Amino acid sequence: MGCKVMETNREDDIISSSECMKYNKGVKHLCETGIANVPKKYIFPVSQRNDENEVVLSLKLPTIDFAELQGPNRHNVLDSLSEACENYGFFQVINHGISNDTIENMIDVSRRFFQQPMEERSKYMSNDVRAPVRYGTSFNQSKDSVFCWRDFLKLNCHSMEDSLPHWPTSPADFRDSLFEYTKQNKYLFLKIMEAIVETLGIVQTTGENESDENDNVLKDFVSKEFENGSHLMVINCYPACPQPELTLGIPPHSDYGFLTLLLQDEVEGLQIQHEGQWLTVEPNPNSFVVNVGDHLEIFSNGRYKSVLHRAVVNAERSRTSVASLHSMPVTNMVRPSPTLIDEDNPRRYLDTDFATFVDFISTRELKEKDFLDSRKC
């Protein structure tokens, strides 16, 4: 659904405190009030914008066939997986086993959540980054000098018993759709993590392909480290924007966890940085875009890369995406796996935990890979 367009002058360029209040209600609300121009608060410096003159190439991400990963071809798929994590930090997963219905319901209920009146959405507005459910706007609303063209709903999915009672009850099917999706998403994450741990060669396996014993060793390792791990779902809403070239849906950043499983609708918008260039990831219905997060870069002692990515917006269509960020339990320390440190490969990152990350983001405007850089030895 697009922004209502009406005639305005540029008085909205002067940011008074009442203007700020208006922006804090989110960009969806701003669009609903009717705007013809992007207010100054959302205009990025030229150097950070999506350069209109630059030819942005489309990228077909390396593809991991999840069904094949479970069969006799596992070894080849593991090679592709390891190459994708080293060279792109991104890959797409097809044949993942999550039903079309579950995926379509997730996107559909997310859209309907944001289409509700402001009063319904605003019930979940909070500045508390630890709140079980939080509606917000931009990237880090309390710190961003320029706001980006995004509203989000963040939901804690790890301690379900504590979080679920706080989840929205409107639309009526919201909780059921999310519950089913998060359960299956977590299972998929654990299975992909088993494969990633195998590619890193950090658990002692028998060295034989397709051995049940190997399967169990991997399963036990991953379940011990991640079964009770953190799981944050971020539902992103990028309304259509009257001047998309002036702003960004989400500025360049890396994700803090081990892996992010991203579901996007059919509207293009995600771009990743690869060899110094921004590349647009073509949406592939029914697949997941998976990216390496900061914690996996640390855990792999730098072998796998947490890559910068961003989202651009467009004038015609609103875009919805759902990012599921998975990591170890929030109280755990994340550190380079000792098996990946030796004389030739010294430790490259300091230990870190979730509290350090929260302290870091609450004291500054987060830029690009600042947090990860702060953890380098």
Ligand X SMILES: O=C(O)CCC(=O)C(=O)O
Contact residues for Fe ion (CB under 5 A)? 255
CB burial readout 25-49, b (16+ within 10 A) else e: bbbbbbbbeebebbbebbbbeeeee
Q: Shortest CA distance to 270 belongs to which of 282, 254, 258?
A: 282
Judged by CB under 6 A, the residue of 151, 194, 225, 255 near ligand X is: 255
- Of 214 and 264, nearer to Fe ion (C-beta) is 264
> Alpha-carbon distance 95 to 70, whole Å?
11
Reading phi first (left if > 0) and then psi (alpha if -120 to 50, else beta), residue 224 is in alpha
CA Rg value for the chain: 21
Q: Minimum distance between the CB of residue 366 and ligand X, rounded to whole angstroms?
A: 12
Check: CB of residue 125 under 8 Å from CB of residue 118: no
Q: Minimum distance between the CB of residue 358 and ligand X, rounded to whole angstroms?
A: 16
Q: Please name the residues in contact with 270: beta carbons below 8 A apart, sequence gap of 6 or more.
A: 262, 264, 280, 281, 283, 289, 309, 310, 311, 321
Q: Choose among Fe ion, ligand X, none what residue 234 binds, the Cβ cut-off being 5 to 8 Å by kind.
A: ligand X
Judged by CB under 6 A, the residue of 250, 272, 307, 361 near ligand X is: 250
Tokens of 101: 């219905």
Q: Minimum distance between the CB of residue 326 and ligand X, rounded to whole angstroms?
A: 12
Contact map string, positions 258 to 287, toward ligand X, x by CB under 6 A: ----x-x----xx-----------------
> Alpha-carbon distance 118 to 32, whole Å?
9
The dihedral formed by the CA atoms of 187, 192, 194 and 195, expressed in degrees to the nearest 10? 150
Residue 286, φ and ψ in degrees, nearest 5? 70, 20
Q: Choose among ligand X, Fe ion, none what residue 229 binds, the Cβ cut-off being 5 to 8 Å by kind.
A: none
- Of 205 and 271, nearer to Fe ion (C-beta) is 271
Q: Which amino acid type is present at position 122?
A: S
- Of 309 and 335, nearer to ligand X (C-beta) is 309
- Of 255 and 265, nearer to Fe ion (C-beta) is 255
Q: Minimum distance between the CB of residue 132 and ligand X, rounded to whole angstroms?
A: 18
> Alpha-carbon distance 272 to 190, whole Å?
24
Q: Choose among ligand X, Fe ion, none what residue 311 binds, the Cβ cut-off being 5 to 8 Å by kind.
A: ligand X
Tally DSSP H helices, then E strands, for the chain.
12, 13
Q: Choose among Fe ion, ligand X, none what residue 321 binds, the Cβ cut-off being 5 to 8 Å by kind.
A: ligand X
- Of 19 and 144, nearer to ligand X (C-beta) is 144
- Of 255 and 268, nearer to Fe ion (C-beta) is 255
Q: Choose among ligand X, Fe ion, none what residue 264 binds, the Cβ cut-off being 5 to 8 Å by kind.
A: ligand X
- Of 151 and 225, nearer to ligand X (C-beta) is 151
Q: Minimum distance between the CB of residue 280 and ligand X, rounded to whole angstroms?
A: 10
Q: Minimum distance between the CB of residue 76 and Fe ion, rounded to whole angstroms?
A: 29
Q: Minimum distance between the CB of residue 63 and ligand X, rounded to whole angstroms?
A: 18
- Of 136 and 336, nearer to ligand X (C-beta) is 136
Which residues sit opposite 234 in a β-bridge? 154, 323
Q: Minimum distance between the CB of residue 223 and ligand X, rounded to whole angstroms?
A: 26
- Of 205 and 236, nearer to ligand X (C-beta) is 236
Contacts to ligand X from residues 200-239, by CB under 6 A: 234, 236
> Alpha-carbon distance 182 to 102, whole Å?
10
Which secondary structure element, helix H or strand E, spans residue 366, and what is its range? none
For tokens 């044949």, name the residue: 95
Contacts to ligand X from residues 300-329, by CB under 6 A: 309, 311, 321, 323
Q: Minimum distance between the CB of residue 222 and ligand X, rounded to whole angstroms?
A: 23
Contact residues for ligand X, defined by CB under 6 A: 234, 236, 250, 255, 262, 264, 269-270, 309, 311, 321, 323
